[in-house]
Structure 1
Amino acid sequence: MAIEWKPIENIKEGEILAEDLYDKSSFNVLLAKGTKITRDKIQILRSREILWLPIETKEKLSDELEKIKSSIDFDQELIKNEEPIAVGIKLSIQEEMYQNFIDSFKDISRELKIGEKIDPIPIQRTVGVLVDEMMTQKEFVVNLFRKHPSGYLYKHGINTAILSLMIGISLSMSRYHLVPLAQSAVFHDIGLMLLDDPNYVDIGKMTKREKLLQHTAIGYKVLSTSGTIDNREVLDAILEHHEKYDGSGIPLGKAKDDINFYAKVIQIADAYDSLTSTTSEALKMSPYQAIKWILSRAGKDYDPYVVNNFLKVVGMYPTGTRVKLSNGKSGMVLRSSGVGLLVPVVVVEDKIIDLSKDKNIWIEAVIY
């Protein structure tokens, strides 16, 4: 059986749930995989504001999800990967270039931490190289998830920038806007380095969580006062990347169109890299789980329009997702086909299969 995500208004009585459905407040199983949908169950789901369901289907799926809703539930069980999610698949940028970006970011971060004056020109040049590299790519392979000896913060900043650029390019943003977007993403969590600095945080009076919530304001302050960044849009994006679409975020409680647009892009890239990272600091979800987690918060935490474009980049089955195919074989998703969200390019026994072109094979189930 294949899985089709269907809006609840299109659900028919007798259809079968293809995955466990979780309650949004308690994370307990609300309806188990294999449950037959009835009118009463549909009413319960509506009352829980669950508007999309994974349904079993025997048909080959070709229709793309046109709208992203905020109520797709997700599997709370976390996959604890200790190796790169997609071993052997090429990276979005070459290893040497990736290493150079990490090293540059690390050097800048250390200088900021000790209070040295930063020349912004090399930063702009480095970010420009990253933007140009991403703009030349004809297809995106989201294989960023590996440990790095330089530490989580440096890797996370670069990964978030790469993912943000993928979204920005899918939004047809010009280079003029992609450069500050990438710059914002690289430095979005720079304030985390300074949480134990008494110049920025009253260490004795704050809990660990209270200190953590200060990192956006600290990043904004250190980058603006050091002269590292003089672009107001970039600084605002760093300050606002934990604002939420419904106005419940920090530090200003901004909502919807009042939130800096770069911040809207960065917060999705930030979440995806954090959730799928192999470092001990992350929650370690599988790519598929992370996508569902983000989708479940579209319209609440994240701008649905930006989420929709992110989904176009990674697909419903992101790079590294292990899937079972209708022909009985299992494989790993390489990338989105660029044609539909549910028909990615899959590697099966060293053979590459584009499910958007092969009409006789489809995804029957997600392994993880």
Structure 2
Amino acid sequence: MLTTIKIYTSDLEIGMFVSALDRSWLDTPFVIQGFRIETQDQIEKLREYCDYVLVDSRKSRQAESTLQRKVRKDRKRVAIAGIFHGRDLAPYRDDSNFEDEHPRAEAALEILVEDLWQVFEQVSDGGRIRAAQLKRSVEPLIGSVSRNPDACLWITRLKHHDEYSYQKALSAAIWAVSLGRELGLPRRDLRSLAMGAMLMDVGKLRIDQTVLRANRRLSTDEELAMRQHVEHGREILQESGILNQDVIDMVSHHHERCDGSGYPAGLRGDEIPAVARVAGIIDTYGSLTSDRAYAPAMSPSGAIKTLYEMRDIKFQAELVEAFIKAIGVYPAGTLVELSSGEVGVVVAESRTRRLKPKVMLLLDDGKQPMLQPRVIDLQEAADNDEPLLIRRSLEPGAYSIDLADVSIPGM
């Protein structure tokens, strides 16, 4: 009978006894070498430092049969260069800080919002996409995210997104470029990712609006009609003379899934173009963090957890992990409660300690509004000489906080 079982950190539960890590204990903050998981914070810490751990079935509260159901069949890891064959990958570095980049990000998004609105209006009226105009408009966004993605990621979370509007397309472009930056893709590929992300759902402009905005679950026939937006999108690209293969692949295959459960072709794994695998992650994250007829919006961190649990099931693990690195375990706009009892909103992630982002405090430990909200860096902050930590993430709108009313002091 096996006494230790290899379990990925995405599958850990309170009550499991961790007997070994996938790396030296000295490379982690865990003082005790071998412990039973008692809190969600311990799980999050393990996920930050490890891909998998060894769990002792004799010392865990779960039955061995329960633990065995958590075992996954290993898949050989693939380097990012192997996923994006023939592309010149190179790491990016932050060339500006959040405060300096914020006004430039606002200016870049203002330009793009206006032009994107015009594009959607033109297509709605039966016209074509002016690809050259969109390419020019997206350049300031790419420049801002390349220098430092935090400002754009913060601004996009302040918007009230209409599920089928140009604003959702704008958010998708920001997430896609941020992920492309994390992957080290060259600027021309970042442009393709932005274009593809913005146009993924352009075919929905040809879907019956009563179906599109139905405030209920769709019938089988309506669902089939909705799925036609992929084909409509391909037609719009063709009519507009857009020949960029990455853009075409993202529009055509962003609903395909690695396990073959997607549509329209039921492609599996590497059959799905790499950029379309990226698009699927972006599209799903956008849907999870938006209000839907059948489910309220998840918190950004909740959506991240859901994506993480879909690794190597619906989405390629390497790309999911890169996306989490790109936007953070607690993405910008996540409402959080700290160990001090104070409540705030995540403003920007830490590139080195992803559980310690910058947070703007909004409520005191009595959950009353602060007279002067302030931004703190959890890498440096403390509460009574104890490190200040995120106790838990909160659902959107918790304590009646409306992010649309939130502004960073001094900006």
Instruction: After TM superposition, give the deviation of residue 159 of structure 1 in Å.
Output: 0.5
CA contact (8 A) 1:14 1:38 kept: no
Q: How many residues are matched?
A: 305
CA contact (8 A) 2:113 2:170 kept: yes
Instruction: After TM superposition, give the deviation of residue 140 of structure 1 in Å.
Output: 4.9
1:184 maps to 2:191: no
Gaps of 5+ in 2: 1-8, 20-33, 42-57, 73-77, 79-100, 210-218, 363-372, 395-411
Counterpart amino acid of residue 281 in structure 2: I
For residue 296 of structure 1, the aligned residue among 288, 298, 309 is 309
CA distance in 2, matches of 1:313, 1:268: 12
CA distance in 2, matches of 1:10, 1:316: 24
1:31-67 Cα distance to aligned partner (Å, 9 max, x none) = xxxxxx953615344344378xxxxxxxxxxxxxxx9
Select the structure with the greater relative contact order (CA < 8 A; seq sep ≥ 6).
Answer: 1
Instruction: After TM superposition, give the deviation of residue 195 of structure 1 in Å.
Output: 1.7
1:365 corresponds in structure 2 to 391
Seen in structure 2, the aligned counterparts of structure 1 residues 158 and 6 have a Cα distance that, compared at 3 Å, is closer
CA distance in 2, matches of 1:112, 1:151: 17
1:354 maps to 2:377: yes
1:165 maps to 2:191: no
CA distance in 2, matches of 1:324, 1:146: 19
2:125 corresponds in structure 1 to 114
1:223 maps to 2:237: yes
Counterpart amino acid of residue 263 in structure 1: A
- For residues 330-341 of structure 1, the aligned pairs below 5 Å read 330-341=343-354
TM-score, structure 1 as length reference:
0.71
Instruction: After TM superposition, give the deviation of residue 171 of structure 1 in Å.
Output: 0.9
CA contact (8 A) 1:188 1:219 kept: yes
SS of match in other structure, 1:207 = helix
Counterpart amino acid of residue 260 in structure 2: G
1:74 corresponds in structure 2 to none
2:147 corresponds in structure 1 to 136
Instruction: After TM superposition, give the deviation of residue 361 of structure 1 in Å.
Output: 1.4
- For residues 65-144 of structure 1, the aligned pairs below 5 Å read 94-137=105-148, 139-140=150-151, 142-143=153-154, 144=156
Give every structure 1 segment of 4 or more consecutive aligned residues whose post-TM-superposition deviation is greater than 6 Å: 90-93, 279-282
Counterpart amino acid of residue 235 in structure 2: K
1:213 maps to 2:236: no
CA distance in 1, matches of 2:162, 2:389: 38
Gaps of 5+ in 1: 21-36, 52-66, 68-89, 198-204
CA distance in 1, matches of 2:162, 2:334: 27
SS of match in other structure, 2:126 = coil
CA contact (8 A) 1:332 1:347 kept: yes
SS of match in other structure, 2:157 = coil
1:109-144 Cα distance to aligned partner (Å, 9 max, x none) = 232233334443212212233222322326456332
Seen in structure 2, the aligned counterparts of structure 1 residues 207 and 304 have a Cα distance that, compared at 3 Å, is same
Q: Which moved more, 1:331-340 or 1:42-51?
A: 42-51
CA distance in 2, matches of 1:112, 1:268: 25
TM-score, structure 2 as length reference:
0.64
1:41 corresponds in structure 2 to 62
CA distance in 2, matches of 1:218, 1:93: 35
Seen in structure 2, the aligned counterparts of structure 1 residues 290 and 352 have a Cα distance that, compared at 3 Å, is same
